[in-house]
Structure 1
Amino acid sequence: MEIHKDDDQYNRLKLEKSPYLIQHARNPVGWYPWSDEAFLAAQRKNIPIFLSIGYSTCHWCHVMAHECFEDEEIADDMNRAFISIKVDREERPDIDSTYMTVCQMMTGSGGWPLSIIMTPEKKPFFAATYIPKESSFGRIGMRELIPMIERLWREEPGRIERITEEVEKALQKYSLTHKGEANVDEDLLEKAFKVLSSSFDEEKGGFSGAPKFPTPSHLLFLMRYWKRKGEVRALEMVEKTLSSMRHGGIYDQLGFGFHRYSTDAEWLVPHFEKMLYDQAFLMLAYSEAYQITAREEYRRTALEILRYVERSLTAPEGGFFSAEDADSEGEEGRFYLWTHSEIETVLDQEEIAICQKIFGIEPDGNFVDEVHRMKNGRNILYLRIPFDEYARSMRRTEGEVSKTLDRILTKLYSARDERIHPHLDDKVLTDWNGLMVAALARAAQIFGESAFLSAAERACAFLLQKMRGKGGELLHRYREGESAITGFLSDYTFLIWGLLELYEATFDEQYLETAFQLNEHLFNHFWDKENGGYFMTSHDGEKVLIRTKELYDGALPSGNSVALLNLLRMHFLTGRQELRERADELIEAFAPQVARDPAAYTSFLCSVDFNIGPGAQIVIVGERGREDSEEMLRALRRSYLPNKVLIFKSIHGDQVLLQRIVPFIKEHKPVDGKATCYICSNFSCAQPTTNSIRMLETLKEIGI
Structure 2
Amino acid sequence: MPNRLSAEPSPYLLQHADNPVDWYPWGEEALEKARREAKPILLSIGYSACHWCHVMAHDCFEDAEVAAVMNRLFVNIKVDREERPDLDQIYQSAHQLLTQRGGGWPLTVFLTPDQTPFFAGTYFPKTPRYQLPGFIDLMENIGRAWHERRGEVLAQNEAVRTALAQQQPAPGVQQALSDAPLAQAVRDLAEAFDPVWGGFSRAPKFPRPGELFFLLRQAQGGNAQARDMALVSLRRMASGGVVDQLGGGFCRYSVDEQWAIPHFEKMLYDNGPLLHLYADAWALTGEPLFADTAEGIVEWLLREMRAPEGGFYSALDADSEGHEGKFYVWTPDQVRAQLPAEEYAVAVPVYGFDLPPNFENASWNPILARPLNEVAAELGLSADAAAARLANARAKLFAARETRVRPGRDDKQLTSWNALMIGGLAHAGRVMNRPDGVDAAYAAIDFLHQNLWRDGRLLASFKHGEARLNAYLDDYAFLLDALLETMQAGYREADMGWACELADALLAHFEDREQGGFFFTSHDHEALITRPKPGYDNATPSGNGVAAYALQRLGHLLGETRYLDASARCLRLFQGQLTQQPIAYPTLLAVLDETLLPPRVILLRGPAAALREWAAALNPKLGARDVLLVLPNGLGLPAALAKPESDQPAAWICSGTACQPPVTELTAVLG
Query: Shorter-normalised TM-score: what interval?
Result: over 0.9
Partner SS, residue 198 of structure 1? helix
8 Å contact from structure 1 (residues 362, 379) kept in 2: no
8 Å contact from structure 1 (residues 180, 589) kept in 2: no
Matched, 1:338 2:330: yes
CA apart distance, 1:182 = 4.8
Q: Deviations over 1:515-539 (max 9, x none)?
A: 0011101110000112100000000
Match of 2:93 in 1: 101
8 Å contact from structure 1 (residues 631, 692) kept in 2: no
Q: Deviations over 1:388-435 (max 9, x none)?
A: 332233332222112111221122111111111101000000000011
Match of 1:289 in 2: 281
Match for residue 585 of structure 1 among 569, 581, 586: 569
> Which deviates the most, 287-296 or 275-284?
287-296
CA apart distance, 1:44 = 2.4
Alignment of 1:546-625 (within 5 A): 546-625=530-609
Matched, 1:164 2:157: yes
8 Å contact from structure 2 (residues 558, 641) kept in 1: no
Matched, 1:635 2:617: yes
* Shift >6 Å, 4+ stretches: none
Matched, 1:73 2:65: yes
Match of 1:218 in 2: 211
Partner SS, residue 61 of structure 1? helix
CA distance in 2, matches of 1:82, 1:261: 34
CA apart distance, 1:559 = 0.7
Q: TM-score, normalised by structure 2?
A: 0.97
Matched, 1:429 2:403: no
Matched, 1:378 2:371: no
Match of 2:301 in 1: 309
Q: Deviations over 1:633-687 (max 9, x none)?
A: 2232121322132334433x3x44x1xx3x14445454xx421111122432223
Partner SS, residue 513 of structure 1? helix
Judging changes above 3 Å, is the alpha-carbon distance between structure 1 residues 160 and 640 closer, same or farther for their aligned structure 2 residues?
Answer: same
Matched, 1:514 2:498: yes
Match for residue 256 of structure 1 among 231, 234, 248: 248
Judging changes above 3 Å, is the alpha-carbon distance between structure 1 residues 352 and 633 closer, same or farther for their aligned structure 2 residues?
Answer: closer
CA apart distance, 1:571 = 1.4
Matched, 1:475 2:459: yes
Match of 1:146 in 2: 139
Judging changes above 3 Å, is the alpha-carbon distance between structure 1 residues 468 and 263 closer, same or farther for their aligned structure 2 residues?
Answer: same
CA apart distance, 1:216 = 1.3
CA apart distance, 1:498 = 1.2
Match of 1:404 in 2: 389
CA apart distance, 1:184 = 4.2
Partner SS, residue 474 of structure 1? strand
CA distance in 2, matches of 1:124, 1:614: 44
CA distance in 1, matches of 2:330, 2:130: 32
RMSD over aligned Cα, in angstroms?
Answer: 1.5
Name the aligned partner's letter for residue 61 of structure 2.
F
Matched, 1:675 2:649: yes
Partner SS, residue 327 of structure 2? coil
Match of 1:700 in 2: none
Match of 1:702 in 2: none
Match for residue 513 of structure 2 among 517, 529, 534: 529
Name the aligned partner's letter for residue 642 of structure 1.
A
CA distance in 2, matches of 1:608, 1:491: 22
Match of 2:378 in 1: 393
Match of 2:353 in 1: 361
8 Å contact from structure 1 (residues 224, 609) kept in 2: no
CA distance in 2, matches of 1:151, 1:467: 46
Name the aligned partner's letter for residue 569 of structure 1.
R
Matched, 1:116 2:92: no
8 Å contact from structure 1 (residues 526, 537) kept in 2: yes
8 Å contact from structure 1 (residues 182, 595) kept in 2: no
Name the aligned partner's letter for residue 438 of structure 1.
G
Match of 1:696 in 2: 670
CA apart distance, 1:54 = 0.3
Match of 1:645 in 2: 627
CA apart distance, 1:45 = 2.2
CA apart distance, 1:584 = 1.1
> Which deviates the most, 682-691 or 45-54?
682-691
Name the aligned partner's letter for residue 401 of structure 2.
R
Judging changes above 3 Å, is the alpha-carbon distance between structure 1 residues 356 and 669 closer, same or farther for their aligned structure 2 residues?
Answer: closer
Match for residue 314 of structure 2 among 311, 322, 325: 322
CA apart distance, 1:504 = 1.4
Match for residue 460 of structure 1 among 422, 445, 453: 445
CA distance in 1, matches of 2:225, 2:76: 51
| Identity percentage of aligned residues | 40
CA apart distance, 1:442 = 0.8
Name the aligned partner's letter for residue 429 of structure 1.
L
Judging changes above 3 Å, is the alpha-carbon distance between structure 1 residues 191 and 149 closer, same or farther for their aligned structure 2 residues?
Answer: same
Matched, 1:173 2:166: yes
CA distance in 1, matches of 2:614, 2:408: 46
8 Å contact from structure 2 (residues 172, 576) kept in 1: yes
Match for residue 426 of structure 2 among 421, 424, 441: 441
CA distance in 2, matches of 1:537, 1:112: 22
8 Å contact from structure 2 (residues 653, 662) kept in 1: yes
Q: Deviations over 1:235-294 (max 9, x none)?
A: 111111111111111111111111111100000111100000111010010011112112
CA distance in 2, matches of 1:618, 1:316: 36
8 Å contact from structure 2 (residues 605, 643) kept in 1: no
Q: TM-score, normalised by structure 1?
A: 0.93
CA distance in 2, matches of 1:487, 1:638: 35
Name the aligned partner's letter for residue 153 of structure 1.
W
> Which deviates the most, 497-506 or 631-640?
631-640
CA apart distance, 1:694 = 1.2
CA apart distance, 1:15 = 0.2
CA distance in 2, matches of 1:360, 1:598: 39
Judging changes above 3 Å, is the alpha-carbon distance between structure 1 residues 650 and 153 closer, same or farther for their aligned structure 2 residues?
Answer: same
CA distance in 1, matches of 2:660, 2:415: 40
Match for residue 497 of structure 1 among 456, 481, 490: 481
Partner SS, residue 651 of structure 2? strand
The count of aligned residue pairs is: 670
Structure 2: any 5+ residue segments left out of the alignment? none
8 Å contact from structure 1 (residues 257, 308) kept in 2: yes
CA distance in 2, matches of 1:204, 1:233: 16
8 Å contact from structure 1 (residues 179, 531) kept in 2: no
